[in-house]
Amino acid sequence: MMAVQDPKVKQDLLRRLRRIEGQARGVARMIEDERDCQEVLLQLSAIRAAVHQTSLRLMHSFAFECIQSSGDSAEDTVEALIKAFSHVS
């Protein structure tokens, strides 16, 4: 298994996740404050998009690092990439 090695990528992912945490707390407050359902759904949609973009960023990093530094066969590398991508899409 591979972990995120690039410090810039790691910081970017953590920044994105912290923003998502803040958005989720905001949605919880909206529900507590009995805000309009459409407003809540809009914010949940924004969270979903942010999670998806974060996943794609991690996938990009994984694909680059996997291909560049893998000691595995090409077939194993492609299989790992396909498996990872299937979780994102």
Report the distance separating Cα 21 and Cα 49, nearest Å.
13
Domain ranges of the chain: 8-88
Q: Answer yes or no: are the C-beta atoms of 57 and 17 closer than 8 Å.
A: no
For domain 8-88, give the fold: Methane Monooxygenase Hydroxylase; Chain G, domain 1 (1.20.58)
Does 8 score more than 80 pLDDT?
yes
pLDDT digits (tens, 9 = 90+) for 51-85: 999 999 998 888 877 667 666 677 777 777 787 77
State pTM to two decimals. Answer: 0.79
